[in-house]
Chain A
Amino acid sequence: MIRAHVTVAMLALLAGFIAFDAMAADPLNPYTAPPMLALGSGMAAAGAHCAAPPPK
Chain B
Amino acid sequence: MSQAASAAIPSSPGAAARLMALVAIAAVVLAVALFAGPRYGLLLLIGLGFGLTLEGFRFGFTGPWRRMILERDASGLLAQLICIAIVASVAFPLLAANGAELKGAHAPIGVAMIGGAFVFGAAMQIVLGCGSGTLVNAGSGNAIGAVALPFFAIGSFAGAYHLTWWTNLGSLPVMVLSGGQGLAITLVGLAAVAGLALMLGKRGSHRLPARYWGAILALAGLAILHLIVAGQPWGVVYGLGLWVAKVVVAMGGDLSGSAFWSAPGNQAQVAASVLTDVTSLTDFGLIGGAALMAWWRAGLASPIGILPARAWVAVIIAGLVLGYSSRLAFGCNIGAFFSGIGTGSAHGWVWFIAAFAGSWVGVRLRPWLGLEARK
Contact = CB atoms under 8 A, between A and B. Distances in A.
A31 to B, nearest CB: 9
Taking chain A's interface residues, is the majority helix, strand, or loop, or is none over half, making it mixed? loop
A27 B233 CA distance: 27
Interface string B278-294: 11000010011001001
B9 A10 contact: no
B278 A25 contact: no
A28 B35 CA distance: 6
Interface string A19-56: 01110111110100111111111111111111111110
Interface string B316-329: 00000000001100
Interface string B101-137: 1110111100000000000000000000000000000
Interface residues of B, number: 90
B141 A7 contact: yes
Nearest to B8: A4
Nearest to B6: A2
Contact of A51 (B5, B8, B330): B330
Contacts of B303: 1-3
A34 B266 CA distance: 18
Contacts of A53: 107-108, 167, 174, 330
Contacts of B164: 54-55
A3 B275 contact: no
B38 A50 contact: no
B277 A25 contact: no
B271 interface: yes
Given A49-B335, A52-B107, A54-B167, A6 B304 contact: yes
A25 B246 contact: yes
B98 A4 contact: no
A36 B39 contact: yes
Contacts of A27: 273
A46 B278 CA distance: 10
Given A1-B303, A34-B37, A21 B246 contact: yes
B5 A55 contact: no
A20 B332 CA distance: 27
Contact-residue bracket for chain A: 35 or more
Given A20-B250, A25-B246, A26-B273, A51 B345 contact: yes
A4 B301 contact: yes
B155 interface: no
Contact of A6 (B141, B246, B247, B330): B141
A44 B99 CA distance: 9
Nearest to B329: A50
A20 B36 CA distance: 16
A1 B306 CA distance: 10
Interface string B179-220: 000000000000000000000000000000000000000000
Contacts of B231: 38-39, 41, 43-47
B75 interface: no
B228 interface: yes
Contacts of A50: 105, 235-238, 279, 326-327, 330-332, 335-336
Given A3-B302, A30-B36, A35-B38, 19 more contacts: A3-B142, A3-B300, A5-B141, A5-B304, A6-B142, A6-B143, A10-B139, A10-B291, A21-B275, A26-B273, A28-B275, A33-B37, A38-B101, A41-B101, A48-B279, A51-B105, A51-B345, A53-B107, A55-B265
26 contacts: A1-B303, A1-B304, A2-B1, A2-B9, A7-B141, A9-B146, A10-B149, A11-B139, A14-B284, A14-B287, A20-B247, A21-B273, A34-B37, A35-B39, A38-B231, A38-B232, A39-B227, A40-B98, A45-B103, A47-B231, A48-B277, A49-B103, A50-B236, A51-B107, A51-B340, A53-B174
Interface of A: 1-7, 9-11, 14, 17-18, 20-22, 24-28, 30, 33-55
